[in-house]
Structure formats: C-alpha cells, structure tokens
Amino acid sequence: MISRFPIHRINWTTSSFLIGTLALTLTAVPLYLWHFGLDWFQVALFFLMFLGCGFSISLGYHRLFSHITFQAAWPVRLFTLVFGAAAFENSVLMWASEHRRHHKHVDHDDDPYSISKGFFFAHIGWLIFKLNPTEPYDNVADLQRDRLVVWQDRYVQWIAVGMSFVLPPLLGFLWNGWSGALGAFLLAGIARIVALQHCTFFINSACHVFGRQPYSTKCSARDSFIMALVTFGEGYHNYHHEFQHDYRNGVKPWNFDPTKWIIWSFSKLGFARNLRRVAQDKILLAQQRRKAEIDFDNAGDAPSGEEQSVALARVKF
C-alpha cells in the first residue's frame, strides 16, 4: 500500500503549508482561545481580513483578471492584488492561467482541477500532487501587460507574508500586547487563511457535484446557494460556466451575490466601467432549453433535435 503511494509526486512546499496551517487551526487556535479567551477585536480583525481577502479573490482574481468581466481603476486593482495575495492562493497570473485552462478543458484531463479525477483531487489533491508540470503563462498574455499584475507576481510571497503574518500581529500587539499579537497571528492569519482557502476549494469540488443545473448540462458545474453564502456569490457555478464573461454570477435579483453589488456600486462611483452582461434573451433561452431537457427526461424519452427545436420555439421574450 505505502509503496504504491505517489510520494514522488508530492509538492512538499504546498502540501506542508496546507497541512501545517490546518493543524495549527485545529490545535493552537483552540488552545489560545481556552487560555486567553476571545474579544471583539480578534473577531473583528478575523472577519475584516476574511472579507478583504475573499472579495479580492472573487472580485479581483476571478471576475476582473481571469474573465475581464469589467475594467477597474488602479486603486481597486491594487487592493485586490495585495489582499488577494494574502489569501495564499498564489499570484493573479498563475491563478488566472489555471482558471482559464479550467474553463477551456472543464471535466477533461487538461482541466487543472477536474472533478472527473475525484472530489479530493478537485478540492485539494491537485495542489498537493504534481501530476503535471507547471503550465506556461501562454493564456494570460493580456495580464502580463499590466504592470501591477507583473509586480504582484514577482513579489507575491512577500506580500502574502506581510499581509497575513506581519500586519495582523502588529495590530494585535497595539491592541493588547503579545497575547493580542499571538491571537491575531492565529485567528486573522492562520485560521482565516484555512477558512478562506477551503471556501475557494469547495467551488472546484462541491460546486461540481452538489446543486442544481438550471442553465446547462454541458459540464458538471452546479449552482449552490449555500456555497454562494461563504464565497461572496461564487456559488452560482452553473450560470458562471455557461456565461463566464458576465460580471454577475447570481444573475437573478434575489440571488446572494455581494460581489456583483460591489462591482455595480464601483461603476456608479467611477471605480469600474464596461461591465459585461449577458443579454436577458440568451439567459432565458438557456433556461428554456434546460427546462425542455428536464421535461423530456421526466417523460422517459430523450429529446430529438427536432423536438428540442419545437420546444425552444415556444420561448416568449
């Protein structure tokens, strides 16, 4: 059994960080809370860092840089690059390159975190094991022309360490001395990283297994309201894979997608422009096509091409 374990493929740096931060969260954090207790400052700092880094991944890494769903002023780009680095999900160039490859080859071998290789692989295994050599940045040439993006790629580890392991302890020390610094390091630093990373990882794993497919069955992506709650609106994954260049993931007015609300607000304040939206008739057409598939499946017969055409012709816009 042990001899068959792919030890030679383990990415020791990444796996040590992922396992080490998780171990500290499950051991050192409870010990700190038992000995020192929890005050409002530590709670506030944890959530401020979680929100700042989480929105930077959703709004910046994903919708702004990976899919170019809108354009943003330099203060927004700089903020998301700095706080996004603190999520320890690597640089925008690598994140966007892998994510664009995921969309191009979703569910197939060239998908970096393909769910077809199992839930564990899609969630975290693709980071732990070197199943393939690192792909070149041949699909992010547009981002390589952005000087801020190139700067972040060059210094991403230094930025991440400073934002996660220097800034929170410094603030904690100013609040309550060394005990405050230790608490900030463990809670706003270590525990926040673990919580945020696994929220992101669940989009790659859970949102390709659990949930609804109201727009398309072309790939395994699914909509999950629960995942939207903890990922700032990223849980509407079925819609996103069908219409990846829309700045909205939760396209319905009642969908919980705070990232789209912030992008829209930025556009009104002059910090964002050229927001890309899929035409409503295309969205309705996708829903009607999916509904026709479900109706035929429930009737026990697969729809023929002619039957699908007849069903789609009934769409009213």
**pLDDT tens digits along 12-23:** 889 999 999 999
Mean pLDDT, range 170-198, rounded to an integer: 97
Number of structural domains (the chain) is 1
Query: Looking at the domain assignment, is residue 239 inside a domain?
Result: no
Residues of the domain holding 160: 2-210
Query: Looking at the domain assignment, is residue 275 inside a domain?
Result: no
Look at residue 298 in the predicted model and tell me its pLDDT: 73
pLDDT digits (tens, 9 = 90+) for 15-45: 999 999 999 999 999 999 999 999 999 999 9
Query: Looking at the domain assignment, is residue 246 inside a domain?
Result: no
Look at residue 301 in the predicted model and tell me its pLDDT: 54
Q: How far is C-alpha 97 from the chain's CA centre?
A: 14
Query: Looking at the domain assignment, is residue 234 inside a domain?
Result: no
What integer best gives the mean pLDDT of the chain? Answer: 91
Look at residue 9 in the predicted model and tell me its pLDDT: 76
Query: Looking at the domain assignment, is residue 59 inside a domain?
Result: yes
Query: Looking at the domain assignment, is residue 10 inside a domain?
Result: yes
Mean pLDDT, range 216-233, rounded to an integer: 96
Look at residue 2 in the predicted model and tell me its pLDDT: 44
Mean pLDDT, range 64-79, rounded to an integer: 98
Query: Looking at the domain assignment, is residue 30 inside a domain?
Result: yes
